[in-house]
Chain A
């Protein structure tokens, strides 16, 4: 089933949450809505669920306009950010809630609940109550409940944000496995870029209610469409550069431009992994700090010209490239994005 958001606009008082958002999600696709707080990602999801009605624009599910269809008559299962299991019902009855309100026979309810609990790895937990489960287990039950009515669309509203780091990783892989197994069209809202990049077929980056870019994760990371996406997804260095024709000069290198430059004096946006660092007494800076991260080490290099640059080097080089070492900094030659010049070159760490 496809989901189409057409020119959605929604304001809360004077605050614009959605500003003409248009997007089509294909059958069986998992798309992640990614963006900072207040970018409109949850509002967009709630418009699909029917909990918010857009001021203008329309939502189509499987080609049918559902903009004015009440939430309880839309074919969408939703998992909420906070644990939303009904506290007075046990796990089995929570999962079978939708079947109960549709007056399905008890035997059908129980067998469907048991089947779904097996699917989410909680077979045998049916008699327990929500307060007897961990956060991760509660979200698994919520997932089973969302799938109980075999919805056309699965909506996940930051379902992992309240969980421990390790549980998050396990559960997001579990969600992806289930989504692929069931082939269900899924919208996954998150502010965590790692989460979005690791599970989604495509990532839609939102800012101020507008779509900045929608593309597969690798493309969002490697070829960000806008400086905002470049800075929001991953870590980005801002290095001073001078535009010259179709290239930009930075650290004495001429790199090809990716898109139009905003002026002559610009910031060149370069990922840490595209920065090369080598020991050199004649180098342009020295290592300020080194952070070992297993397979890589992230170096913070103080430039003699002012400012800092982040560089990722293989983890085994961390011992050789110790803080205080004089180094030279070069860049991998590939097209680069540019942004209007800021005062001092500085790396921009990801928001989340």
Chain B
């Protein structure tokens, strides 16, 4: 018994040693910034620690930006999840293997599209002097608002959802549907009682991912809307660079803490559901 314990201890030690490089990278890339962020967020003017910065982020204009970011992310997450799931289902159930391959490959590319190039594409298409704007005579301001930004975010969010939900849709056994039909269920009843509950956690997981992507996006919004749509990432950038006022760096860090808290809340809902779903689709 003692030998076995000793062997386990040695095995455990070797395991930790193998994981050491990853742990060191994690510590440097995530640990140090988190500590710096925490210390800065809770540092108050004149020295010492307190909640002044966090309290400030709960006031205008920051609370408005935070709320606007949450709304935008929620809209992108919901629309992206629904449209992406429908698109994935349509592609996976089509008889064309070529279509499936084409859509999944295109999704892989588009899901990683972002930043200034993405903003430029949309400005050139639907901006005030965009090709489509001019051709259809849509006038100015089509793109530079909340819904314009949502549209641009959906451009990469829907393909991302297709990639995330496709394996879960593949995991739905055709026999479940046939068994439901055999028991007298309509197609809608199958989805209501079996399909959607089984896919629910995966759909929610995809939604969380889209929410996170939209919540953290900065460059596209900065290039497109600037300050016309208040977003927390733009507020953080302004505060860090002293774009409007100087000496607000710790407010930026406090806003980042707000973002982490929101992300953790979303994850707290998602993780238990995901755990249950993985058992069903195994």
**Chain B interface secondary structure, helix, strand, loop or mixed?**
helix
Are B280 and A131 touching (Cβ within 8 A)? yes
Out of A70, A78, A88, which one reaches B197, CB within 8 Å?
A88
A97 and B279 in contact (CB under 8 A), knowing A51-B178, A78-B179, A86-B179?
no
B34-42, B183-191, B247-255, B260-268 - interface stretch: B183-191
Are B181 and A71 touching (Cβ within 8 A)? yes
B160-205: which have CB < 8 Å to A?
173, 175-176, 178-186, 189, 193-194, 197-198
Closest to B194 in A: A86
Give the size of the chain A interface in residues (CB under 8 angstroms). Answer: 29
Provide the bound-state CA to CA distance between A146 and B178, in Å: 12
Are B182 and A72 touching (Cβ within 8 A)? yes
Provide the bound-state CA to CA distance between A300 and B113, in Å: 70
- Range of interface residues on chain B? 20 to 34
Provide the bound-state CA to CA distance between A73 and B186, in Å: 9
Are A98 and B183 touching (Cβ within 8 A)? yes
Provide the bound-state CA to CA distance between A89 and B176, in Å: 12
Are A84 and B183 touching (Cβ within 8 A)? no
Identify the interface centre among A78, A80, A82, A97: most chain B CB within 10 Å of its CB: A97
Out of A76, A88, A89, which one reaches B182, CB within 8 Å?
A76
Are A97 and B185 touching (Cβ within 8 A)? yes
A72 and B185 in contact (CB under 8 A), knowing A88-B280, A100-B193?
yes
A101 and B183 in contact (CB under 8 A), knowing A80-B175, A80-B178, A86-B176?
yes
> Taking the nearest CB of chain B, how far is it from the CB of A212, in angstroms?
28
Residue A313 is within 8 A (CB to CB) of chain B in the complex:
no
Are B183 and A148 touching (Cβ within 8 A)? yes
Residue A87 is within 8 A (CB to CB) of chain B in the complex:
yes
A37-61: which have CB < 8 Å to B?
49-51
Out of B175, B189, B282, which one reaches A84, CB within 8 Å?
B175
Residues of chain B contacted by A49 (CB below 8 angstroms): 178, 182
Out of B175, B180, B197, B280, which one reaches A97, CB within 8 Å?
B180
Are A87 and B280 touching (Cβ within 8 A)? yes
A64-82: which have CB < 8 Å to B?
70-73, 76-78, 80, 82
Provide the bound-state CA to CA distance between A86 and B282, in Å: 13
Provide the bound-state CA to CA distance between A53 and B176, in Å: 19
Residues of chain B contacted by A140 (CB below 8 angstroms): none
Residue A109 is within 8 A (CB to CB) of chain B in the complex:
no
Are B280 and A71 touching (Cβ within 8 A)? no
> Taking the nearest CB of chain A, how far is it from the CB of B74, in angstroms?
26
Provide the bound-state CA to CA distance between A146 and B281, in Å: 23
Are B189 and A101 touching (Cβ within 8 A)? yes
Out of A50, A70, A88, A149, which one reaches B183, CB within 8 Å?
A149
Closest to A50 in B: B181
Provide the bound-state CA to CA distance between A131 and B278, in Å: 11
Residue A166 is within 8 A (CB to CB) of chain B in the complex:
no
> Taking the nearest CB of chain B, how far is it from the CB of A283, in angstroms?
56
> Taking the nearest CB of chain A, how far is it from the CB of B51, in angstroms?
43
A88 and B194 in contact (CB under 8 A), knowing A71-B182, A101-B183, A102-B184?
yes
Residues of chain B contacted by A82 (CB below 8 angstroms): 173, 175
Out of B178, B185, B279, B280, which one reaches A101, CB within 8 Å?
B185
Are B194 and A149 touching (Cβ within 8 A)? no
Are B182 and A73 touching (Cβ within 8 A)? no
Given A76-B182, A87-B279: 19 more A-B contacts, CB < 8 Å: A51-B178, A71-B178, A71-B182, A77-B183, A78-B178, A78-B182, A80-B179, A84-B179, A86-B179, A88-B194, A88-B197, A88-B198, A97-B183, A98-B184, A102-B184, A131-B279, A145-B179, A149-B183, A149-B184
Smallest CB-CB A-B distances: 7 pairs: A98-B183, A84-B175, A87-B280, A71-B181, A101-B185, A88-B197, A84-B179
Q: Could you give 12 example pairs across A and B, Cβ below 8 Å?
A: A71-B178, A72-B180, A72-B183, A76-B182, A86-B179, A86-B194, A87-B280, A89-B193, A101-B184, A101-B189, A131-B279, A142-B179
